[in-house]
Amino acid sequence: MAIEFLTDKPRKPGLRSRPNWPERLTLLAVVWILASVALFASATDRKVLIRDVTQIEGVRDNQLVGYGLVIGLSRTGDTQQTFFTVQTLANTLQRMGVQIAPGVVVVKNVAAVFVTASLPAFSRPGMKVDVTVSSVGDAKSIEGGVLLLTALRAANGEVYAEAQGPLVIGGYSEGASGNVKSVNHPTVGRISEGGTVEREAAVDLSRFRIVSLLLLNSDFTAARDVADAINAEFGKTIAAALDSRRIDINVADSGVLSVPILISRVQNLSISFRSPAKVVVNERTGTIVMGGDVKLSPVSVIHGSLTIDVQTSHVVVQPPPFSSGKPETVEETRLTVNDAPAQSIQLEEGANVDELIKGLHAIGATSHDIIAILQAIKAAGGLQADLEVI
């Protein structure tokens, strides 16, 4: 939108014209209102690409796992108590023509490990993937080790990749005789591009008649907006929201011959997106995370501290003078009650959780107190958001 600035009337030569202040003030007011509207719109709604809030059904990663050996350790491998390590070593040597008796072999530079990797979508033979190597025995460290050739299998038991190479770990363990210094996890390592894909795991998109988009977070409004944006882009109805998470796109009705091109056009569309009003609390750590525009109804919170301390002690009571009695042990109980005065905060209509938490901190409430108070407010119907406790 173009804004035309108002100017003063032409002045005569040699005369100074007076500025037209009412018109200028009116212009400034209009500009201020437009700026306020723009700022308010940007605060309530934000544009996101469809690719950032959805995924395509059937296009995903696959998890791989394998069992192997790490060799070349500096006497920090598995001990003799981890018998399956020696058995694996004996089986490996047997395939190479070396016969050994597992019961008499003692090695400390070998460790049994599990190898895990994620096989990306549309993987082809020869592609490289990163692998993670984790000790399964009692090895102290796998630092400096080399992973022997290990087959990586999917859930169906088929081998999809092979892994081998030197390990890189993000920690260390040094010392002996109980005086040990450890940093991070020296029993977990990583091999960058240490896995090679051996079996194709690509999805044939040419067979897709329906492309289904799945929202990462269930939301009926977002599903409707995605379908509307797609239909507006193609000028006809080719997409429909089936539920709060799934949007189906008819490939034939789109008129696009290539499914990848159709997906590319759809993923680069943008929609107005609002984060859901949600509060997530972790009772174990006292962590509170708020998302979206979380609001509170008018609420008053009264927080007090009542401490009751009961102490029991044993006191020896001596008998009266010149009596034949004997000293006796008597149990004495002391009761201490400390009732701190209750403190309160009051929030008006439209207050958010951030204001509530600041107020609770001001009266000395701890993180765990805040979590309990949030749960009580939610139970009373004062929290206009979804409260999730993890």
Question: Is position 42 within any domain?
Answer: no
Minimum mean pLDDT among 144-158, 230-244, 282-296: which range? 282-296
- The answer to whether residue 1 sits within a structural domain is no
Query: What residues contact residue 180 under an 8 Å CB cut-off, 6+ apart?
Result: 173, 174
Per-residue model confidence as pLDDT tens digits over 338-376: 666 666 677 666 677 677 777 777 777 777 777 887 888
Q: How confident is residue 104, by pLDDT bands cut at 50, 70 and 90?
A: confident
Kindly report the backbone phi and psi dihedral angles of residue 313, in degrees, each rounded to the nearest multiple of 5, phi listed first.
-135, 160
Q: Number of structural domains, the chain?
A: 3
The residues facing 67 across adjacent strands are: 114
Contact 175, 181 (CB under 8 A): yes
pLDDT average, residue stretch 239-254:
94
CB 358 within 8 A of CB 322: no
In a domain, 38, yes or no: no
Is residue 55 included in any domain, yes or no? Answer: no
Mean pLDDT of 56-74: 93
Using pLDDT thresholds of 50, 70 and 90, give the confidence band for residue 13. Answer: very low
66 contacts 119 by C-beta, under 8 angstroms = no
Q: Domain check: are 262 and 299 in the same one?
A: no
Same domain, 290 and 377: yes
Same structural domain, 314 and 245:
no
Q: Which domain holds residue 91?
A: 62-168+186-197
The C-alpha atoms of residue 386 and residue 280 are separated, in whole angstroms, by 8
* More confident: 368 or 212: 212
Same domain for 317 and 236, yes or no, is no
Report which DSSP code applies to 206: G
Residue type, 377: I
Residue 73 shares a structural domain with residue 160: yes
If asked whether residues 288 and 380 sit together in one domain, one would say yes
- Co-location of 293 and 252 in the same domain: no
Contact 229, 269 (CB under 8 A): yes
What pLDDT is recorded for position 311? 60
Residue 162 pLDDT: 97
Lowest mean pLDDT among 92-96, 125-129, 272-276, 329-333: 329-333
**Could you tell me which of 296, 289, 293 has the C-alpha nearest to residue 390?**
289
* Euclidean distance between CA atoms 248 and 209, whole angstroms: 10
| Cα(250)–Cα(195) distance, integer angstroms | 37
CA nearest 193: which of 124, 141, 148, 126?
126
Q: What is the pLDDT of residue 29?
A: 45
Q: What is the pLDDT of residue 337?
A: 58
Q: Which two tokens stand for residue 348?
A: 């008006």
Of 99-108, 201-210, 227-236, which one has max mean pLDDT?
A: 227-236
90 and 149: one domain? Answer: yes
Domain-located, residue 134? yes
Residue 385's nearest CA partner among 361, 353, 347, 359 is 353
Query: Of 255, 273, 291, which one is at a domain's C-terminal end?
Result: 273
50, part of any domain: no
Phi-psi category of 170—alpha, beta or left, where left has phi over 0 and alpha has psi -120 to 50? Answer: alpha
Same domain, 97 and 132: yes
Q: Is the pLDDT of residue 2 over 50?
A: no
Residues 139 and 193 in one domain: yes
Pairing mode, strands 46-49 and 270-273: antiparallel
In this structure, is residue 340 part of a structural domain?
yes
The verdict on 298 and 266 lying in the same domain is no
Residue with tokens 């591009």: 193
Does residue 174 lie in a domain region? no
Task: Assess whether 283 and 269 both reside in one domain.
Answer: no
Nearest in space to 72 (alpha carbons), one of 104, 105, 111: 111
